[in-house]
Amino acid sequence: MYNYIGDKIMTKLLSGIECRNKLKEKLTKKINKIKEKITITVISVGNDEASKIYIKNKIKECQSVNIECQHLHFEKTTTNELINLITKLNKDKNITGILVQLPLPKNIEENKVINTIDYKKDIDGLTKSNIAKLYSNQKGIIPCTAKGIIDLLEYNKIEIEGKNITIIGRSNLVGKPLTLALLNKNATVTTCHSKTKDLKKHTKKADIIIVAVGKPNLIKKEMISKNSIIIDVGINRINGKISGDIDKSVYKKCKAITPVPGGVGPMTVYEVLSNTLECYELQKNKK
């Protein structure tokens, strides 16, 4: 997929939809060979509007590959109630995976809740056990956005090994696991954040720039080099429209870029399916 200006090809658009569709074909074949029903439980608490959309998308994606999705929603609950629920789900042989939609309301101890999930049912890859595996480069469940970005780069045959990759954002959900996952793939990784001085110094030298901040137009064309590849993770809602963290001026200068919407988002949702299958295989000792 290319971005045309007049009839001249400018920048390659790295479509997450195209990549997801291709990977989903393979995954569907694998799932169809499994005789048992695969069921996951999604737990959500409170009224976060963005979370409602993400959950709807995840459920739709699961259904499209015959993964059953049980959604348990609570207007209000406590840390202990969630821990009790997850403990039961951990023991339930009919449940392959558990996903707690983040963020949880402030009264809930997020870490305690997440770490109650059995690592073999941890579709989001956010439990300490799976993060420790990522840290020590052992096989485990990798958080969905990090895995989705790597799959998207690999699908587009973009080399990771030996490349200078600058990640902007150090959250536990995206930036940190991505840093580890890319280091494990032998990239030279620089992780920037809100206290980084001179962001431009780090973006200019990068072959690949991955931005996961949530600030529209944060990265402008002066901050990048001509041949850089840009992965825009940001999701910003402005007047009902969704945009990423990259200024439109960058599109004309970089070599390739993920659109928003249609880039990292579909990949993240796809990885919920992929991680569910990995959880299934782990539980069946097939891996």
The residues binding ligand NAD (CB under 6 A) are 145, 168-171, 173-175, 192-194, 196, 199, 212-215, 233-235, 264-265, 268
Q: To 5 degrees, how large is the angle CA 10–CA 14–CA 16?
A: 150
Tokens 């993240």 belong to which residue?
268
Nearer to ligand NAD, 98 or 178 (CB): 178
Annotated catalytic residue, options 24, 58, 163, 176: 58
Identity of the residue numbered 103: P
As measured in angstroms, the least distance from the Cβ of 93 to ligand NAD is 31
Identity of the residue numbered 61: E
- Asked if residue 261 has a cis previous peptide bond (ω within 30° of 0), the answer is yes
Buried b (16+ CB within 10 A) or exposed e, 224-257: beeebbbbbbbbbeeeeeebbbbbeebbebbbbb
Task: Indicate the DSSP class of residue 75.
Answer: S
As measured in angstroms, the least distance from the Cβ of 260 to ligand NAD is 7
User: 40 near 70, Cβ under 8 Å?
Assistant: yes
Nearer to ligand NAD, 85 or 212 (CB): 212
Rounded (to 5) percent helix, strand, coil in the chain: 40, 20, 40
Nearer to ligand NAD, 39 or 57 (CB): 57
Nearer to ligand NAD, 92 or 222 (CB): 222
Q: Say how far apart CA 257 and CA 28 lie, in whole Å.
A: 28
Nearer to ligand NAD, 192 or 279 (CB): 192
As measured in angstroms, the least distance from the Cβ of 123 to ligand NAD is 14
As measured in angstroms, the least distance from the Cβ of 208 to ligand NAD is 16
Query: Is 151 noted as a catalytic residue in this protein?
Result: no
Nearer to ligand NAD, 129 or 236 (CB): 236
Buried b (16+ CB within 10 A) or exposed e, 56-67: eebbebbeebeb
Query: Is 92 noted as a catalytic residue in this protein?
Result: no
As measured in angstroms, the least distance from the Cβ of 223 to ligand NAD is 11
Annotated catalytic residue, options 118, 124, 232, 245: 124
Helix H or strand E segment including 216: none
Annotated catalytic residue, options 24, 101, 133, 176: 101
- Token reading at 274: 């992929």
As measured in angstroms, the least distance from the Cβ of 115 to ligand NAD is 18
Q: Say how far apart CA 2 and CA 11 lie, in whole Å.
A: 6
Query: Is 124 noted as a catalytic residue in this protein?
Result: yes
Catalytic sites, residue numbers: 58, 101, 124
